[in-house]
Amino acid sequence: MTGRSDRAESIRHTMEEDGDAVHDHTATLNRNRYEAMASLDGGDALRRRAREIKEDAIADLPELIDRVEAAVEANGGRVYVADDAADANRYVQQVASARDAETAVKSKSMTTEELELNDALVDAGVDVYETDLGEFVIQVAEESPSHIVGPAMHRSREDIAELFNDYFDPEEPLETADELTRFARDYLGDKIRDADLGVTGANFVLADSGTVVLVTNEGNARKSAVTPDAHVAVAGVEKLLPSVEELQPFVELIARSATGQSIAQYVSMLSPPTDSPTLDFDDPNTPDFGGEGGDREFHLVLVDNGRFEMREDDQLRETLYCIRCGACSNSCANFQHVGGHAFGGETYSGGIASGWEAGVHGLESTEEFNDLCTGCTRCVDACPVEIDVPWINTVVRDRLNRGADPDAFDSLVTGLTPDDEPSGFALDKRVFGNFGTLAKWGSATAPVSNWVADAGPARALLERAVGIDRRRDLPQFARETFADWYADRGSRIDDPDAAVTLYPDVYTNYVRPDRGKAAVRVLEAAGVRVDVSPVSESGRAPLSQGMVSTAEDRAVETRAALEPALDAGCDVVVLEPSDLSIFRREYERLLPEGDAAALADAAYSLVEYLTACDTTPLAGDERVAYHAHCQGRTVGELDASEALLDCLGYDVVTSAEAVECCGMAGSFGYKEAYYELSVEVGETLADWAADHPDRTLVAGGASCLDQLDALVDRTPLHVAELLDPET
Amino acid sequence: MSATTRFEAALSAFDATLTRTRTADFSARLDEVVDPPAVGSPLPFEGVSLDGTDVVTEPTPAQLRDATTGVTAAAFAIAEYGTLAVRSTAGGDEPVSLYPERHVAVVRESDVLSDADAAFSRLADAFADGPESVVFATGVSGTGDMGEYVEGVHGPREVRVLLLEDR
Ligand code: SF4
């Protein structure tokens, strides 16, 4: 593994090289996706259906393989199931040499990238031409894809013009996108007409009819599949669906998710060998039309390469449901700013790459990029097959941690890292993962702890030992915790309309007690009596570091701390969206079966709770610019906040269109390796805030508030502080 | 709104035009939407034919390569998206709809289906009779890979629909 400062340097480099172009493209695709999904009736039901179809298909995979073999053979083609990359490549080489193929044209396929099929064909003496223009660009540039859907997304038009002018030396230099496209089309058109072999991937394969489904906008897959007499389709085994009946949700979802189109330009459903006439452009004056199309040859190569093992792996299995639409990349704030050259492994990129890379190339190929998933969960809403991409990243991180070497600094912080993780666990992860303990200590010894931590030498040590970037302001621990304040003060409501338990997360308790105090006053103004449960860390901090077993311990403790409230049938108000989100999403995985549901049902954000009770005394008329916390947004916080504030009389604009995540993401923005990326991502939020200079800035969570504090010269408020009757 | 009206609206979103014709006037209307030289594949609809028009059926590869217009039937259309379903036939629907710059699709009005549900149920019926090969073509080929969006890549740059009102 590279060191932290090397990592920072490499991210900085990619950000400079690729960042602007990738950001322009991904942000646009992401906006388009929102619009396209919003205009689709029953979009979530369709995602559910797609998910179920994939679950069943993967469960039935061996049978589907038998069925597709029978169907393709009945049609007159051949199926080959390849164990691994070498096996698949060998088979395609054999097909090529049996036909004396000198050239092959290819349509875009990530699976053939995974296999490195092009190299294998070149080794067999076959010239290979990528016909998707994005793939063509990176083939000419000898680069790897920067995005699973838009492989050349990191290159601007100017870049591509320079590349083509250098490489092809055209008579007239190429300049506009139109000129570049025409040039590439003509160049590749010749190659397609001359090719001896057409190689495509497949977006889906229909077992019962032996149908290969290809989804493209350029038309290159159609031409590559149909023009040469021989067609080889290469697909991972996970692409199998039973029949055309199951295809519809995917056709309706894939383009919406990928580019925001309601349907892709070309959805080809080919059951080869097809009846289309063969086209011999070497013999251009002999008609081929009207015959039986009988000279066509078709091979379907189904690739295992680790997928059957993924199928047995309870945590990685859902990776196989992925339809590779790229929505998880486009909706990812970090990805938007670096692209797949930093946020990617050997083949795949973006959030889901951890699953694919771990499965097909091995855990080590996730090592350099897995930390770039901050667990913000914005991709969870985006994924058309409802894959919990952040969970896959967490699991992979946990596995990486467990394989790490013993760390020399371990003994220094034993007291601060009271977890059961193996001793080899990286120190920085353990410190961040045990934030609750650190905060308790910091608060108990404040303000001394704050002075010490802020002092130059201490910052240098923190940077060296734990990787906390010295440019980042540290959290200031409060001497009086929120829980102590409340214990002194007690409830001011004698005749309550309702009662709630307020969950004092560690950040509210030790670092930002003011928002806890504000929340108490707000709830009391609404006639609600507040109880405060014992302080506990929810497990969010260790989970974000991939410390799953520590997170399980914290979850059990927190569930126990809230047990009396749940037993009493009391609602639980949660101020920190990352905790609300772990209660609702991950506790199901962390707690013994059956323990998560009661808490998930009883837990509300402050806003959700107020929406359900009489809030008239809280009316306000301020102009507000509201940034929803990423994880909170995934569990509905944005809509709830917008609705409540609107109803109370506030004039609200939100950052929903412009920003997915603030870039701070818990510990991420503190880390030396990621500080600059975090700030770059945060600048997108800061730009949005600057577009609304006369509005009160309100943000959902601790991280967003810290990031805004650092990057904007207005003081942002938590929603409890906005509503606080005392301000 | 009728399916045909919705189909026309969806087509106009990518500058494709819809021309209505009765079978009796087919040749005349065809002339209006064809930019020669044109190639075509046989039309399976009663009362209309490319025979006797300037459209070359059973073209040679050279004629296909040099054609400006390709005329094919569409098995059906999806009004909601402006989609044309083109089958792979021995007469060459697939290459004829793909290679030339302009694709002219002949559609029976009774084959204009309202939405994806109707289209997939039609497709399922077709697959029930044996494996099918069909492409859903929507709009013109395009790419954003050269830094900006450009229309007309490997497939056509223009789409024209001839709607057979009495079929
Ligand atoms: S994980 Fe989901 S969102 Fe990401 S590429 Fe796969 S299908 Fe698309």
pLDDT band at residue A423 under the 50/70/90 scheme: low
Q: Quick one: tokens of A675? A: 């500080």
Peptide linkage before A273 cis (omega within 30 of 0)? yes
Q: Which of residues 139-158 of B touch A (CB under 8 A)?
A: 139-150, 152-156
pLDDT band at residue A412 under the 50/70/90 scheme: very low
Which residue's structure tokens are 């049938």? A569
Question: Backbone dihedral region of A214: left (phi > 0), alpha (psi from -120 to 50 degrees) or beta?
Answer: beta
pLDDT tens digits, A591-630: 998 899 999 999 999 999 998 776 667 778 889 999 999 9
| Residue B139 to residue A265, Cβ atoms within 8 A | yes
| 8 A C-beta contact, residue A300 and residue A79 | yes
Q: Determine phi and psi for B3, rounding to 5 degrees.
A: -60, -40
| 8 A C-beta contact, residue A438 and residue A445 | no
Q: Strand pairing of A204-206 and A211-216?
A: antiparallel
The H or E element that residue A127 is part of is strand A127-130
ipTM above 0.95, yes or no: yes
Distance from C-alpha of A145 to C-alpha of A147, rounded to nearest angstrom:
6
Q: Quick one: tokens of A456? A: 């130059």
What is the amino acid identity at position B130?
G
Q: Comparing C-alpha atoms, which of A210, A249, A232, A236 is closest to residue A47?
A: A249
Q: Give me the pLDDT at residue A409, please.
A: 35
What is the amino acid identity at position B40?
G
What is the 8-class DSSP label of residue A344?
B
| 8 A C-beta contact, residue A679 and residue A476 | no
| 8 A C-beta contact, residue A392 and residue A321 | no
Choose, out of A153, A155, A269, A283, the residue to mutate when testing the contact with B (most B CBs < 10 Å): A269
| Residue B116 to residue A133, Cβ atoms within 8 A | no
pLDDT at A458 exceeding the cut of 90: no
What is the amino acid identity at position B89?
T
Q: How far is the CA of A542 from the centre of ligand 1 (A)?
A: 25
The set of residues, in sequence order, having a beta carbon less than 8 Å from that of A199 and lying 6+ positions away, is: A92, A104, A105, A106, A107, A109, A112, A117, A121, A128, A224, A231, A232, A233, A234
Q: How far is the CA of A393 from the centre of ligand 1 (A)?
A: 13
Q: Give me the pLDDT at residue A292, please.
A: 53
Q: How far is the CA of A33 from the centre of ligand 1 (A)?
A: 13
Percent of chain A past pLDDT 70, that is, above it, reads 94
Q: Comparing C-alpha atoms, which of A368, A431, A452 is closest to residue A670?
A: A431
The rounded Cα A457 to chain-centroid distance in angstroms is: 37
Q: Is A504 in the pocket of ligand 1 (CB under 6 A)?
A: no
Q: Which chain B residues touch A266 with a CB distance below 8 Å?
A: 135-138, 141, 155
Residue in chain B lying closest to A248 (CA)? B120
DSSP-assigned letters across all residues of A617-649 = GG----EEEEE--HHHHHTTHHHHHHHHHHHHT
CA-proximal residue: ligand 1, atom 6 (nearest): A322
Q: How far is B5 from chain A (nearest CA, A)?
A: 18
pLDDT tens digits, A378-387: 999 999 999 9
Q: How far is the CA of A329 from the centre of ligand 1 (A)?
A: 8
What is the amino acid identity at position A97?
S
Residue B52 sits at the chain A interface (C-beta within 8 Å) = no
Q: Give me the pLDDT at residue A417, please.
A: 58
Q: Is A50 in the pocket of ligand 1 (CB under 6 A)?
A: no
The set of residues, in sequence order, having a beta carbon less than 8 Å from that of A3 and lying 6+ positions away, is: none
Distance from C-alpha of B90 to C-alpha of A292, rounded to nearest angstrom:
6
Q: Specify which residues B102 forms β-bridges with.
A: B69, B158
Tell me which residues of chain B have a pLDDT lower than 70.
none
The set of residues, in sequence order, having a beta carbon less than 8 Å from that of A410 and lying 6+ positions away, is: A423, A427
Q: Quick one: tokens of A395? A: 């699991």
> Whole-angstrom distance between the N-terminal and C-terminal Cα of chain B?
20
| Residue A131 to residue B58, Cβ atoms within 8 A | no
Ligand 1 mutation target, pool A257, A343, A393, most atoms within 8 A of CB = A257
Q: Give me the pLDDT at residue A615, please.
A: 64
Distance from C-alpha of A331 to C-alpha of A478, rounded to nearest angstrom:
35
* Beta strands in A484-611, from DSSP E residues, in sequence order: 498-503, 528-532, 571-574, 603-605
Choose, out of A265, A281, A286, A330, the residue to mutate when testing the contact with B (most B CBs < 10 Å): A265
From B41, B89, B135, residue closest to A267, measured CB to CB:
B135
Mean of all residue pLDDT scores within chain A: 90
pLDDT at A413 exceeding the cut of 50: no
Q: Is A383 in the pocket of ligand 1 (CB under 6 A)?
A: yes
Residue B134 sits at the chain A interface (C-beta within 8 Å) = yes
Distance from C-alpha of A715 to C-alpha of A706, rounded to nearest angstrom:
10
Residue in chain A lying closest to B138 (CA)? A265
User: Would you call A415 helix, strand, or coil by DSSP?
Assistant: helix
The set of residues, in sequence order, having a beta carbon less than 8 Å from that of A600 and lying 6+ positions away, is: A583, A584, A587, A588
pLDDT tens digits, A120-163: 999 999 999 999 999 999 999 999 999 999 999 999 999 999 99
Q: How far is the CA of A275 from the centre of ligand 1 (A)?
A: 34
What does R_g of chain A's alpha carbons equal in angstroms?
Answer: 28
| 8 A C-beta contact, residue B34 and residue B71 | yes
* CA torsion angle A608 A609 A613 A615 (round to 10): -70
Q: Strand pairing of A204-206 and A230-236?
A: unpaired
Domains of chain B: 3-164 (3.40.50.10420)
The H or E element that residue A200 is part of is strand A197-200
Q: Is the dihedral of CA A645, A647, A653, A656 positive or negative?
A: positive
pLDDT tens digits, A346-363: 999 999 999 999 999 999
CA-proximal residue: ligand 1, atom 3 (nearest): A383
Distance from C-alpha of A447 to C-alpha of A445, rounded to nearest angstrom:
6
| 8 A C-beta contact, residue A274 and residue B88 | yes
For residue A572, count CB atoms less than 10 angstroms from its CB and return exposed for 0-12, middle for 13-18, buried for 19 or more: buried
* Atom number, ligand 1, closest to the C-alpha of residue A323: 7
Q: How far is the CA of A350 from the centre of ligand 1 (A)?
A: 9
Q: How far is the CA of B102 from the centre of ligand 1 (A)?
A: 35
Distance from C-alpha of A225 to C-alpha of A269, rounded to nearest angstrom:
11
Q: How far is the CA of A319 from the centre of ligand 1 (A)?
A: 8
Q: Is A387 in the pocket of ligand 1 (CB under 6 A)?
A: yes
Residue in chain B lying closest to A280 (CA)? B61
| Residue B60 to residue A265, Cβ atoms within 8 A | no
* Atom number, ligand 1, closest to the C-alpha of residue A351: 4
Residue B22 sits at the chain A interface (C-beta within 8 Å) = no
Q: Give me the pLDDT at residue A668, please.
A: 87
Distance from C-alpha of A514 to C-alpha of B42, rounded to nearest angstrom:
78
From A178, A226, A252, residue closest to B95, measured CB to CB:
A226
Distance from C-alpha of A325 to C-alpha of A17, rounded to nearest angstrom:
24
Residue A629: CA count within 13 A, CB half-sphere? 27
* A513 compared with A409, residue with greater pLDDT: A513
User: Would you call B167 helix, strand, or coil by DSSP?
Assistant: coil
* Atom number, ligand 1, closest to the C-alpha of residue A148: 5
Ligand 1 mutation target, pool A376, A387, A634, most atoms within 8 A of CB = A387
* Atom number, ligand 1, closest to the C-alpha of residue A319: 1
Q: Specify which residues B105 forms β-bridges with.
A: B72, B161
| 8 A C-beta contact, residue A153 and residue A146 | yes
Distance from C-alpha of A177 to C-alpha of A183, rounded to nearest angstrom:
10
Q: Is A603 in the pocket of ligand 1 (CB under 6 A)?
A: no
> Whole-angstrom distance between the N-terminal and C-terminal Cα of chain A?
50
pLDDT tens digits, A12-21: 999 999 999 9
Distance from C-alpha of A54 to C-alpha of A52, rounded to nearest angstrom:
5
The set of residues, in sequence order, having a beta carbon less than 8 Å from that of A58 and lying 6+ positions away, is: A238, A311, A317, A320, A321
Distance from C-alpha of A192 to C-alpha of A87, rounded to nearest angstrom:
26
* A419 compared with A513, residue with greater pLDDT: A513
* Atom number, ligand 1, closest to the C-alpha of residue A382: 3
* Atom number, ligand 1, closest to the C-alpha of residue A321: 7
Distance from C-alpha of A388 to C-alpha of A381, rounded to nearest angstrom:
9
CA-proximal residue: ligand 1, atom 8 (nearest): A325
Choose, out of B76, B115, B154, the residue to mutate when testing the contact with A (most A CBs < 10 Å): B154
